[in-house]
Structure 1
Amino acid sequence: MAGALAGIRVIDFGQYIAGPLAAQLLGDQGAEVIRVDPPGGPRWDTPANATWNRGKRSIVLDLKTDDGRGAARALIASADVVVENFRAGVMDRLGLGAAAMVAANPRLIYCSMPGFASDDPRAGFPAWEGIVGAAAGMYRAARGGTPTNGRPIYSAIPLASSYAAIQTAVAVAMALGVRERDGVGQVIQVPLFDAMFGAIGYDGLRVHAGDLPPMGAGVSLTTQFECSDGRWIMFHTGNGKTQEVLDAAGVGNWVRDGLLDRDRLAKNPEAAREMIEKARVLFKTRPAAEWEALVNAAGGECAVCRPSAEWLTHEHAIGSATIVEVDDPILGKTKMPGVSARLTLTPGAVPGPRHRLDADRAEVMALATAARGAAPTAATPEGLLRSALDGVRVLDLCIVLAGPTCGRTLGEYGADVIKIEAPTRPPGFAFHGDVNRGKRSIVLDLKTPEGQEVLWKLIDTADVVVQNFRKDVAQKLGFSYEQVKAKRPDIVYASLNTYGHVGPYAGRAGHEQIAQAATGMQERFGGKGQPQLQKYAVNDYGTGFLGAYSVALALLHKRKTGHGQHVDAALAYTATLLQGQFMQDYAGKTWDEPRGQDIVGSGPLHRAYEAIDIWMFLAAPTVGALAKVEGLSGIESLSGAALEAELEKRIAMAPLATWQKRVAGIPGVAVHRVVQGTRELMDHPWVREHGLSVAREHDDMGVVTTIGPAARLSRTPPRAGVPAPALGRQTREILAEVGLADRADALIASGGVRDSMGMAMR
């Protein structure tokens, strides 16, 4: 069956990563994507273009000429969606900007993805990936430096571009639903800098009355361990199967004897060190693959910290279509990421290989002559409309980060999200304060008849159900997709988990750390030493956004047909997508991406340097362009290590402010301070003013700061929503809405339903 976006035409003016990836995500769901390149082809010649430009028709247009701009206007007139990621104002100067194009075609959805927003003081900066990453606090400081000015550890994963692309796809799907409802398009802007706040997530949370405990505080066996074959595994204790795992390993007495008692270890540092050493010795008794099999067979969480090259050929990656093979016209048979948002009734699919440059000129120009973007049949209102998901009710049965992020995102776009909590959930504010804002809360014990009764009353009123249990767990609890569909065939039911719902690992448990290990993230970031975690929970949050994208697509299809369906997203899909720059395997592939804890960039022209006062990130298109900067003349003949050494010496002779003045006005060259303190970022006046950092009064916790939504939609802007409620705060209110007000006291007395459980700062 056709994808959810079948019949939608997208014109992709994007370059580098963000724009092409956003258009790829739309194309994977059935949209017809026409790619517009400048003479000479994409500005970045990379094997990853085989992924980002797959299935797109190709035409070359010179937008600096009247003919090129005229052809572009004709294409836009025929389009449903435009995607571009030039600097703010570039398309306006070409006469192809959002205001003019939407005025000519009121049904058009016009998406801009600049590095910095049009009203950001840095709007004119050349927004290289490293520049945006430095501005958004992406690079952790190495040990030994100060918290705000240590040597940055560069991560090669293009998070800013990838997060902008994912959030743009969500926004487009929402805007298409609005257009189906109201008949009008709108303008979307998702700046790369703003999009990074979606990855910052929990790290941006602040309770002003006191500090939250840091993630991972205390002694834990959730870490990497070296095994007998010299390889590393990621072991995780988060799903409560530690006793079963240690029994299988022959050391079940550890738990029974109290050796892992958290209170004891917290009070006795020597005992904690001894416990970690015992674990290190244990894990060195077997090879990594054996540990991975043993732990998972016992119901625990473990993954080999494998390189991406290994993941590209791994049995689960292939068996789950997380990795697919495409016959690319340039690279030949190429393994690459598959579809990252899965729908059962309108399944996405890789639309085929990329087309050769300008191969579709005649066909595309013929299409452009028949403008399909007809104006609405009736006058449309000016200004804001009802929110994109106004009238949609979502039941969120998720825990931790990925699933609740999906629900939070749907709430930002206007859905009524009811968070169903278990009475056993600890009443801590940490993750909850970030991912459950904008929701209402009810506490149900789904193992009781009373809890099940209320759940099914809620399902009767719902449009969407979101859960993130492992495969088959929801069925045991009585609310699998098949069970819900039997009563509500029109339901949109989203499942989020670690490895997806098909393939040999489909039933395995996992958290963020497991996905990073399995797919190559940890191995790349660690380099030759111990594997290392990314600074943020990038797969959890990314999967939440991709889950919301899947739901928005399914709701669009439901609006057209009345049919519901099952959709799914997974941490492994997301981790593969985020590493898309490196996730190609073909004959002659060279695995030379930046890696390890000692790197500060991807090369001399894209890396951090230490100025006389602070670390800064420098990016330039060529040595020649950089040589035009005052103080850097004469470097044209240098390259590689010699160029880096010379730049290190010269840059160290002046402060950041001097370098900022010197690079101003030189095309393509930019510098930016490496921001390393999340609180500094969240407290920045511009960030607060534009809703990326939101401080509100919480009923129980006082003033609380969280991140806000990044996407800007001109007609249906997302909203941050109210602060996350105490668990069960709206239980009685929700019971009344489903006709159970007169039984509320009895239901609560039964223990199957709870009202407010309060909050604690942990």
Structure 2
Amino acid sequence: MTGTLNGLRVIDFGHYIAGPLLAELLAQNGAEVVHVDRPGGPALAGLPDSWLNRGKKRITLDFRRDDDLETASDLIRSADVVIENFRPGVMDRHGLGARRSRSTDPRLIYCSLPGFAQDDPRASIAAWEGVVASATAGYRRLREHWDWKARTHATVDDAGRPLFTAIPMASNAAALLGAFEVVTALLGREKTGVGAHLEIPLSEAMLQIVGFHLEMPDFVGPRLDMPKPCLGSFRCADGRFVDNVSYPRFVEKLLIAAGAWEDWVSDGLGDMGAVFSDAVLGRRAERAFEELIATRTADEWESLAIQLGIPLAAVRTPREWLSQDHARESGVVMTLDDPEWGPVTMAGAALHASRSGTTITARSAPDADRATVLDDVRRRLESTPVFPTGVDGDAGDRPLAGVSVVEFSQVVAGPITGRILADYGADVLKVSNPAPHGNNGFHGSYTNRGKRSVFLDVEDPDDSAILRAAVSNADVVVQNYAWGAIERYGFGYDDVSVTNPDLVYVSMDAFTRFGPWRARRGHENQAVAATGLSSRYGGDGGWPIYQPYLISDVGTGIMGAFGAVLGLLHRRKGGVGQHISTSLSTVATLNQGLYLFDVPDGHSAIEPTGPSALGWSAVNRLYRAADGWFFLGARDDRVNDLRDALGMSTEDLPGTDLSADGPSAIALERYFRMGTRDRWTALLASRDISAQPVREIVDVAHDPVWHDRGVLRYGVNGEGTDRAPVLGFTAHPWSVPPRSAAASGPLGIDTETVRAEYSAHPVPPTRGENHEQL
């Protein structure tokens, strides 16, 4: 298995995170990637580089040298795909921009990942990760904290303080979206012969994560208390924590197995419906549950939960996750022999492809492949056809037009995969559970726009026949149930591929479909708990604090779409269908990949963690001005410019210790409190230093620039409110399908139409005897 992208040549001009990570995802799937380093080495040297630049050839080029610029131009002329994440205009100034590059080769796919789009008024600012996060409500404010001992509300001294995270949410999201769009453009090129210029700004990629909360603003709010009894993290007998999902049937099942059910009944807590609807009973149940969890260790509770099929997970540290048996056996983490560090355990493959496969090899040292790269470029240019000059190729029709998708999914990740495929032209049939108790998750523009929606019951022979007819005629199936659930009804890959061998079957679950935990249930919170992501932000007493956004759910949805188009491209290039899978835990691991390492000498990547963290350094962190918080974004070598812009002396700001909580940071804290955010923004902008006010969700939701660009829009949200701010469409070069631009309508709206459509199709025999509802 050589990978779907075998034979594809990618030139990676990326620096920091987004560009290199996108290129690394392509390298995993067989692409030949040449990474171009700047003089002095990568922006993120050391352990981060060992992850971001795996599997690539490397050459160092200095754009100030004419001969190196010519080499860069030759690299582009030899490429299928070019990736860059500079500010808009930088590559153009060097003669390496998209328009010029594609004028000589209309088949070229040129992918730009700036902080802000080229026609966004903020395009010229230095878009550090913290700047983008602040502009997109990535650092949501904490107005209250949870007193975990008393489990009551208590106001924090520093009300309104943002919750900082070092996880590069925007860069990671842009890399995932970029990987999907690049492969989608490759599919389009297979049909039209023409490539595309893709622009995926980090800020607009971050809106994919924030977008859920435009429609569900109270789902995970700025408070850290949990809205349901028995939901969230609980301390165990060994001082560790477990995270539990609060579904009545799961809580009851756990109580019975733990021998506590009779006590709950005698205490008047035996009616789960009342417990979950009455605030007084809910509070009593929560305290009783807290006392119960404190009687066993975290490992004991997790073992019982696995046995019972309950979504509960022990909260691990990142290092514990790296050594966990399932993580290693499933390939979610892996060990490579790095040329600098020796054996390094780090994040593994992003997905598993049953036929095309994935390959990950250790990085090369910067410039180690210069001779090979230059020789290869020369040979390629000698054999590459010359295209007519002055051609700005049209990307053509929607690349997924004519692709038929059947989506069996619930909650967040699976529906996002289907929504993304629909946005790019696919005909997506969403199958929901008609039973009143069915868990169909959320419904609205964010998760389900652009789809046909049906209620069909796998227990009903007629409905099951319709589903089999739909699947037998589909190009793609998407499902995000736990392993074994959909298989019980004969809709697993092994069953449906018999009648449809060309089917691309995409599975998403909590803990991957390989290894000891393949059948485990789980949601976002269990994935971030088990992988160590939540422990990075532990509060007092080590209590885990969760990200305010569903970064693993959303990322898994994007990854599912990436897997789908990889499968379609593999099939288009002469292959057959296959089973492609990813998981919440895989994406949770990827999200922390920049810091997730285990090396023999115990060295680790520097990461600011905990609720008191404010940033990476004195010149790259959050500060409080007289009227609120903002993010200061600058390189360490810009201290003199920073001092001059602010009118500070060397005594005021010596700049010798630039740690995030050192004397320079303390001096800046005092100084910034004396002026407003607008004042500091204007002063610093004069020296090309970024100061971005921390924004709330409501500010983002009504941002006029993003509404003008269509990446946000006013429509019907998940609660049925008209003219509400909802997620729009990424500015890809293809037109938006009319169905996606329209209101999504209620679940099941297309049921009768679809019944009539498939009633005349020949139907394979029903398989499976278990009639438990999906």
Q: CA separation in 1, counterparts of 2:499 and 2:179?
A: 31
Counterparts in 2 of 1:260 and 1:44: CA distance versus 1, 3 Å: farther
Contact 2:482 2:509 in 1 (8 A): yes
Partner residue, 2:594: 581
Q: For structure 1, which runs of at least 5 residues remain unmatched after alignment?
A: 744-751, 753-762
Q: State the 1:375 CA deviation.
A: 6.0
Q: State the 1:384 CA deviation.
A: 5.3
Contact 1:8 1:32 in 2 (8 A): yes
SS in 2 for 1:196: helix
Give the TM-score normalised by structure 2: 0.90
2:747 partner letter: L
Partner residue, 2:364: 355
Q: CA separation in 2, counterparts of 1:223 and 1:517?
A: 10
Contact 1:233 1:302 in 2 (8 A): yes
Q: State the 1:252 CA deviation.
A: 2.2
Does the alignment pair 1:397 with 2:413? no
Mean Cα deviation higher: 701-710 or 167-176: 701-710
1:684 corresponds to which of 693, 703, 728: 703
Q: CA separation in 2, counterparts of 1:446 and 1:381?
A: 50
1:723 partner letter: A
Once the two structures are superposed, what CA deviation does each residue of 1:477-498 show, in whole Å capped at 9, x if it has no partner?
2201010001111111111000
2:654 corresponds to which of 636, 645, 657: 636
Q: State the 1:712 CA deviation.
A: 2.9
1:321 corresponds to which of 306, 331, 336: 331
Contact 2:38 2:62 in 1 (8 A): yes
Does the alignment pair 1:594 with 2:644? no
Does the alignment pair 1:442 with 2:454? yes
Q: State the 1:253 CA deviation.
A: 3.1
Q: State the 1:217 CA deviation.
A: 7.5
Give the TM-score normalised by structure 1: 0.92
Does the alignment pair 1:695 with 2:714? yes
Counterparts in 2 of 1:151 and 1:619: CA distance versus 1, 3 Å: same
Partner residue, 1:244: 253
Contact 1:243 1:255 in 2 (8 A): no
Partner residue, 1:607: 621
Give the 5 Å matches for 1:35-54.
35-54=35-54
Counterparts in 2 of 1:184 and 1:254: CA distance versus 1, 3 Å: farther
SS in 1 for 2:483: coil
- Work out the percentage of aligned pairs sharing the same amino acid: 37
Once the two structures are superposed, what CA deviation does each residue of 1:401-442 show, in whole Å capped at 9, x if it has no partner?
011111111111110001011112669997211211111111
Partner residue, 2:149: none
Give the 5 Å matches for 1:282-681.
282-350=292-360, 352-369=361-378, 370-371=380-381, 374=385, 383=394, 385-424=396-435, 431-433=442-444, 434-527=446-539, 528-591=541-604, 592-622=606-636, 623-634=639-650, 635-639=653-657, 640=659, 641-667=662-688, 669-675=689-695, 677-681=696-700
Contact 1:205 1:704 in 2 (8 A): no
Q: State the 1:738 CA deviation.
A: 2.1
Once the two structures are superposed, what CA deviation does each residue of 1:109-156 show, in whole Å capped at 9, x if it has no partner?
00000011111111011111111111110112123589x981111011
Partner residue, 1:733: 753
Once the two structures are superposed, what CA deviation does each residue of 1:76-116 show, in whole Å capped at 9, x if it has no partner?
00000000000111000110000000111111000000011
Q: CA separation in 1, counterparts of 2:618 and 2:515?
A: 42
Counterparts in 2 of 1:700 and 1:309: CA distance versus 1, 3 Å: closer
Partner residue, 1:13: 13
SS in 2 for 1:672: strand
2:520 partner letter: R
Q: CA separation in 2, counterparts of 1:374 and 1:238?
A: 61
Q: CA separation in 1, counterparts of 2:47 and 2:271?
A: 50
Counterparts in 2 of 1:254 and 1:418: CA distance versus 1, 3 Å: farther
SS in 2 for 1:544: helix
Q: CA separation in 1, counterparts of 2:218 and 2:440?
A: 8
Once the two structures are superposed, what CA deviation does each residue of 1:280-324 show, in whole Å capped at 9, x if it has no partner?
111111111111111221111111111111111111110101111
Q: CA separation in 1, counterparts of 2:62 and 2:270?
A: 66
Q: State the 1:689 CA deviation.
A: 1.4
Q: CA separation in 2, counterparts of 1:595 and 1:701?
A: 39
Q: CA separation in 1, counterparts of 2:236 and 2:104?
A: 63
Contact 1:107 1:373 in 2 (8 A): no
Q: CA separation in 1, counterparts of 2:719 and 2:38?
A: 56
Q: State the 1:664 CA deviation.
A: 1.3
Q: State the 1:607 CA deviation.
A: 1.2
Partner residue, 2:34: 34
Give the 5 Å matches for 1:98-177.
98-144=98-144, 150-177=160-187
2:191 partner letter: R
Q: For structure 2, which runs of at least 5 residues remain unmatched after alignment?
A: 145-154, 764-770
Q: State the 1:38 CA deviation.
A: 1.3
Counterparts in 2 of 1:3 and 1:254: CA distance versus 1, 3 Å: farther
Contact 2:105 2:387 in 1 (8 A): no
SS in 2 for 1:627: helix
Contact 2:229 2:276 in 1 (8 A): no
Q: State the 1:597 CA deviation.
A: 1.4
Q: State the 1:265 CA deviation.
A: 4.3
Q: State the 1:699 CA deviation.
A: 12
Contact 2:305 2:312 in 1 (8 A): yes
SS in 2 for 1:95: coil
Q: State the 1:680 CA deviation.
A: 2.1
Equivalent pairs counted in the alignment come to: 736
Once the two structures are superposed, what CA deviation does each residue of 1:213-256 show, in whole Å capped at 9, x if it has no partner?
77897432121000011111111134942222111111123675
Mean Cα deviation higher: 385-394 or 244-253: 244-253
Counterparts in 2 of 1:312 and 1:427: CA distance versus 1, 3 Å: closer
Counterparts in 2 of 1:615 and 1:213: CA distance versus 1, 3 Å: closer
Contact 2:711 2:731 in 1 (8 A): no
Q: State the 1:190 CA deviation.
A: 0.5
Q: State the 1:374 CA deviation.
A: 4.0
Q: State the 1:66 CA deviation.
A: 1.3
Q: CA separation in 1, counterparts of 2:106 and 2:395?
A: 14
Q: CA separation in 2, counterparts of 1:277 and 1:587?
A: 43
SS in 2 for 1:466: strand
1:8 partner letter: L
Contact 2:411 2:440 in 1 (8 A): no
Q: CA separation in 2, counterparts of 1:140 and 1:416?
A: 36
Q: CA separation in 2, counterparts of 1:499 and 1:438?
A: 29
Mean Cα deviation higher: 377-386 or 243-252: 377-386
Q: State the 1:266 CA deviation.
A: 6.5
Counterparts in 2 of 1:174 and 1:638: CA distance versus 1, 3 Å: same
Q: State the 1:262 CA deviation.
A: 6.1
Q: State the 1:599 CA deviation.
A: 1.7
Q: CA separation in 1, counterparts of 2:466 and 2:220?
A: 36
1:233 corresponds to which of 232, 237, 242: 242
Once the two structures are superposed, what CA deviation does each residue of 1:8-56 show, in whole Å capped at 9, x if it has no partner?
0000000001111010000011000001111111123241110110111
Q: CA separation in 2, counterparts of 1:699 and 1:273?
A: 28
Q: State the 1:378 CA deviation.
A: 14
Partner residue, 2:766: none
Once the two structures are superposed, what CA deviation does each residue of 1:438-465 show, in whole Å capped at 9, x if it has no partner?
1111111101211211101111321111
